[in-house]
């Protein structure tokens, strides 16, 4: 798997190619590829971040245990 940085470099290359494209169709294709590479970089960035912990207690533990009679 590539890194987010590498994906962003691919996107930058696509933008460069888009500026050099000879037709509007080619330009749009390169812009679309750049968009896809950018989303891939964002996805990798998201996977690399630690996930938040929502559960502060073990599963099955209740907040207020029953009172013993």
Between residues 2 and 23, the one the model is more confident about:
23
Q: What's residue 49's pLDDT?
A: 73
Phi, psi of 15 (to 5 degrees): -65, -40
pTM for the model:
0.68
- pLDDT tens-digit map of 14-58: 999 999 999 999 999 999 999 999 999 999 988 877 666 665 555
Gap between the Cα atoms of 50 and 4, Å rounded: 16
Between residues 26 and 59, the one the model is more confident about:
26
Q: Would you say residue 65 has pLDDT above 70?
A: no
CA 60, 55, 57, 47 dihedral sign is positive
């Amino acid at each position: 798997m590539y890194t987010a940085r590498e994906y962003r470099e691919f996107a930058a290359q696509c933008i460069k190619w888009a500026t050099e494209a000879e037709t509007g169709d080619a330009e749009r294709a390169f812009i679309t590829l750049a968009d896809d590479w950018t989303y891939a970089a964002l996805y990798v960035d998201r996977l690399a971040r630690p996930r938040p912990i929502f559960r502060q207690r073990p599963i099955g533990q209740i907040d207020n245990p029953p009172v013993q009679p």
